[in-house]
Amino acid sequence: GFYATLDPPILLPEQEDDQRATAEEDVLNVYQKKWISAVLSNPNSKGRNKIKVLVPDSKGETTFVTRYIYPQNPPPNCKTEQQVVRFVSLLPFEEDTNDDGDKVEIWFNSHEFLSTLKADWEEHAILLANYFLKLQPARRTFVALGTAMPDGHVAYVLTEDKEGEWTVWNPCSGK
């Protein structure tokens, strides 16, 4: 393989506010903007300015990211954690693109994902997290968004066991 870095690193442009219409109530939008400002003004959050609270949905509006996470029944033949991990990893992976083939960001809910079988990192991670929440409701389960080499923008599932040990799940590879 080949690995290269740039010195000095290239700075990314400032992230702009998403100006799309939202499906959320005005009072919630005001609250989320205040919350993001408070988090970013905290000295401990320096360099952690990529916080997603609202994400673009399939209708072209923005929706709170937490609305996608809920306990969901896995398929009848998936009774164990390993079976749901394998099931989700076998679902097709497809980057979000528009009609011209340009990459866009659209979040499908689990029903839309399973109906269309079109999904990228976020949908795979959300579906896996939802299945985990149904199989083991008491276990702490999170979807983590980030950047990984060589995949770029990714979404993983984090789970905490009874001893406080964390596991990072790649929903697309099943590892």
139-165 exposure pattern, b = at least 16 Cβ within 10 A, e = fewer: eebebebeeeeeeeebbbbbbeeeeee
Give the pLDDT confidence of 156-168 residue by residue, as tens digits.
999 999 999 999 9
- Core vs surface per residue 11-46: b (16+ CB within 10 A) or e: eeeeeeeeeeebebeeeeeeebeeebeeeeeeeeee
Give the tens place of pLDDT for each residue, 112-143.
999 999 899 999 999 999 999 999 999 999 99
Token pair belonging to 57: 């949905």
- Local structure of residue 162 (DSSP, 8 states): T
Sheet of 152-160: strands edge to edge?
141-148, 152-160, 166-169
Q: Look at residue 128 and give its three-state secondary structure.
A: helix
Q: Please give the backbone phi and psi of residue 122, each rounded to the nearest 5 degrees, phi first.
A: -60, -45
CB 169 within 8 A of CB 158: yes
Confidence tier at 49 by pLDDT (50, 70, 90): low
pLDDT at 17 over 80: no
Query: Which band of pLDDT confidence, cut at 50, 70 and 90, is reported for residue 13?
Result: very low
Beta strands in 26-151 (DSSP E): 54-56, 62-64, 141-148
SS3 of residue 132 by DSSP: helix
Q: Where do we find the tokens 């005005």?
A: 26
